[in-house]
C-alpha cells in the first residue's frame, strides 16, 4: 500500500499540499518533522510524529528528525494561549540530548542504507546567522500580511495576552529550517501536527520565493479523547516516553484504560497492525466489549514499541499481580511479588513512625500519595482508599506495624487503578 493510502486509512492525514502524493510516488523523498525540546523527554503526544517518520521510512523514503535547539529558545505560539517561559542554554542542551537519544530508538540510522534516518539540530545553522543577515536574506521574502494571516498569529493577536515579536518570528525560523534542509539535504517534504500547517506552508513559500523550488507538506490530526479531555494526561501528569518519568507499567496502564471509542481510533494510529487485523480486532471487541480485546492489544503493541518486549512482560506481570485476583488477601503476595512490581510507585517510610502509629490522613499526605491532607481525607471518606486490598472505612484508622506485609510493606490503592508500595525503613 502506498504511504498516503496507508496513513489515510489509519486516520493520520488532515491537510495535504497538492502534488505531495505524486512526489512520494515519483522517487525516494527526504522528509522531516521538528521536535521541540521543551523537556528532556518526549511524551506520548510526540508519538504520532514519530510514527509518521517510521511509516515514511518503511515506505522507502528518508526521514530526518529535527530537534529545535534554536527554535526551542523562542517558543512556538501555535496552539498556545500565552507565551512560554524561555529556557536557559544549559537546560536546553540537556533537553536536546534527551530528545535525540529517544528518537534514535525508533528509526533506522544504518548508513549503508540509502534511506538511512538522520538527526539534525537547527542550532547548527542558526548559530552562524546574524540578525541583520536573517532579516536581509530571509525576512524580505515573506510579507507581514502573509504572516498575519496565519491562524496561530491571528488568535494570539486578538487575545488579551497578545503576541511578542519573539514568537511572531517563530514561523519564519521554522520556514528557514525547511529551506535549509531543502538546500543542504534535498528535503522536499515536511510533516507535522495540524496546528503546524501555517508554519509548514511558510517553509514551502520561502523555498519558492528564495530559490524557485517546489516543496510539499502534509499534517496529521491532533489526537483528542472521545470524552473531550486532553490526550496524554493522567492524574500524575504527562505520560512520558522516558521510563524513569513514566514507568512501563504506568505507560501500559494508560493504554489499557482507554475507552472503547478511543481504543478503536488509537489502534489504527499507534500500532503497525495490518488493516485486516485491526478491523478483525474491532469486530471481536464489538461482539464482546467486556473482554477489552482492543485495549489489551493496543497496550501491548505500544508498550513494546516504546519500551521493548522485556518491559512489556514486566508490565503485564505487575498488572496480573495487582488486578487478576483482587479477592485474594494481600498477605498472599510474596516478598518477590511485592518487590517485583516494576512500575508501581514506591515510597520509603520511617519504621519508627509506624511503630508509634500514625493516622491514615497524615500517612497518605506524608508519603505524598496525596498532595494534601484535605484531599486525602475527602478520598478516604468517599471510600477511595484501600490498604492491603481492604477498603479504609474511615479517617480514624491508625496505620501501624501490625498492618505490615512481611513486616515491611504496605500496599496502598488510590481509586481503582493507582497503586503504591510503601516500605518501612
The domain segmentation of the chain, as residue ranges, is 3-220, 233-325, 337-424
Question: Is 100 labelled a binding residue?
Answer: no
Cell numbers representing residue 418 in the block:
493507582
pLDDT at 81 over 50: no
Q: pLDDT band for position 334 (50/70/90)?
A: confident
pLDDT at 323 over 90: no
> Which pLDDT score is estimated for 250?
86
Phi, psi of 413 (to 5 degrees): -120, 130
Could you tell me the fold of the domain covering 337-424? 3.10.290
**Integer Cα distance of 365 and 112 in angstroms:** 56
Return the percentage of the chain with pLDDT > 90, whole number: 59
Query: Long-range contacts made by residues 350-358, C-beta under 8 angstroms, separation at least 24?
Result: 350/424, 350/425, 351/401, 351/424, 351/425, 354/399, 354/400, 354/401, 354/404, 354/424, 355/400, 355/401, 356/400, 357/398, 357/399, 357/400, 358/398, 358/399, 358/400
pLDDT at 327 over 70: no
Question: Is 146 labelled a binding residue?
Answer: no
Mean pLDDT is lowest, of 58-72, 272-286, 293-307, for 58-72
Greater model confidence, 69 or 50: 50
| Mean of per-residue pLDDT scores for the chain | 89
pLDDT at 284 over 80: yes
Residue range 372-397: average pLDDT?
91
**Integer Cα distance of 16 and 299 in angstroms:** 30
- Which of 125, 70, 76, 77 lies closest to 92 in space, CA to CA? 70
Return the percentage of the chain with pLDDT > 70, whole number: 94
Report the CATH number of the 3-220 domain.
3.40.50.620
Question: Is 174 labelled a binding residue?
Answer: yes
Greater model confidence, 390 or 79: 390
Q: What is the CA radius of gyration of the chain?
A: 25
Greater model confidence, 168 or 222: 222
Largest CA distance in the chain: 79
> Which pLDDT score is estimated for 235?
61
> Which pLDDT score is estimated for 89?
78
Question: Is 80 labelled a binding residue?
Answer: no
Question: Which CATH entry fits the domain spanning 233-325: 3.40.50.1220, 1.10.240.10, 2.10.70.10, 3.40.50.150?
Answer: 1.10.240.10
Greater model confidence, 261 or 321: 261
Q: pLDDT band for position 224 (50/70/90)?
A: confident
> Which pLDDT score is estimated for 47?
94
Amino acid at each position: 500500500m502506498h504511504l498516503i493510502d496507508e496513513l489515510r486509512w489509519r486516520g493520520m492525514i488532515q491537510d495535504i499540499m497538492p502534488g505531495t502524493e505524486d512526489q512520494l510516488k515519483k522517487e525516494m523523498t527526504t522528509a522531516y518533522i521538528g521536535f521541540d525540546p521543551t523537556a528532556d523527554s518526549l511524551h506520548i503526544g510526540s508519538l504520532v510524529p514519530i510514527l509518521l517518520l517510521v511509516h515514511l521510512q518503511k515506505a522507502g523514503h528518508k526521514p530526518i528528525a529535527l530537534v529545535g535547539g534554536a527554535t526551542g529558545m523562542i517558543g512556538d505560539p501555535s496552539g498556545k494561549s500565552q507565551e512560554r517561559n524561555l529556557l536557559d542554554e544549559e537546560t536546553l542542551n540537556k533537553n536536546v540530548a534527551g530528545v535525540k537519544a529517544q528518537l534514535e530508538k525508533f528509526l533506522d540510522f544504518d548508513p549503508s542504507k540509502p534511506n538511512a534516518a538522520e538527526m539534525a539540530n537547527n542550532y547548527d545553522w542558526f548559530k552562524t546567522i546574524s540578525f541583520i543577515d536573517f532579516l536581509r536574506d530571509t525576512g524580505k521574502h515573506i510579507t507581514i500580511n502573509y504572516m498575519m494571516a496565519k491562524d496561530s498569529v491571528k488568535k494570539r493577536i486578538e487575545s488579551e495576552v497578545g503576541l511578542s515579536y519573539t514568537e511572531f518570528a517563530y514561523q519564519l525560523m521554522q520556514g528557514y529550517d525547511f529551506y535549509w534542509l531543502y538546500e543542504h539535504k534535498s528535503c522536499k517534504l515536511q510533516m507535522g501536527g495540524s496546528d503546524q500547517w501555517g508554519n509548514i506552508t511558510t517553509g514551502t513559500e520561502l523555498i519558492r520565493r528564495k530559490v524557485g523550488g517546489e516543496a510539499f507538506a502534509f499534517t496529521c490530526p491532533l489526537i483528542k479523547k472521545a470524552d473531550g479531555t486532553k490526550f496524554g494526561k493522567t492524574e500524575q501528569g504527562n505520560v512520558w516516553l522516558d521510563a524513569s518519568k513514566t514507568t512501563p507499567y504506568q505507560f501500559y496502564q494508560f493504554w489499557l484504560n482507554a475507552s472503547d471509542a478511543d481504543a478503536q481510533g488509537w489502534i489504527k494510529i499507534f500500532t503497525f497492525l495490518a488493516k485486516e487485523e485491526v478491523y478483525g480486532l474491532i469486530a471481536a471487541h464489538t461482539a464482546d466489549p467486556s473482554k477489552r480485546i482492543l485495549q489489551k492489544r493496543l497496550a501491548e503493541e505500544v508498550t513494546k514499541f516504546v519500551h521493548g518486549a522485556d518491559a512489556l512482560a514486566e508490565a503485564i506481570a505487575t498488572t496480573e499481580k495487582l488486578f487478576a485476583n483482587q479477592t485474594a488477601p494481600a498477605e498472599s503476595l510474596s516478598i518477590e511479588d511485592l518487590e517485583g512490581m516494576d512500575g508501581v510507585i514506591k515510597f520509603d517510610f520511617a519504621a519508627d513512625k509506624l511503630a508509634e502509629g500514625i493516622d491514615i490522613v497524615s500517612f497518605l499526605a506524608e508519603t505524598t500519595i496525596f498532595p494534601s491532607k484535605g484531599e486525602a481525607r475527602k478520598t478516604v471518606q468517599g471510600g477511595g482508599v484501600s490498604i492491603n486490598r481492604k477498603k479504609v472505612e474511615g479517617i480514624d484508622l491508625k496505620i501501624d506495624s501490625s498492618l505490615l506485609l512481611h513486616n515491611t510493606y504496605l500496599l496502598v490503592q488510590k481509586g481503582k487503578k493507582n497503586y503504591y508500595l510503601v516500605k518501612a525503613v
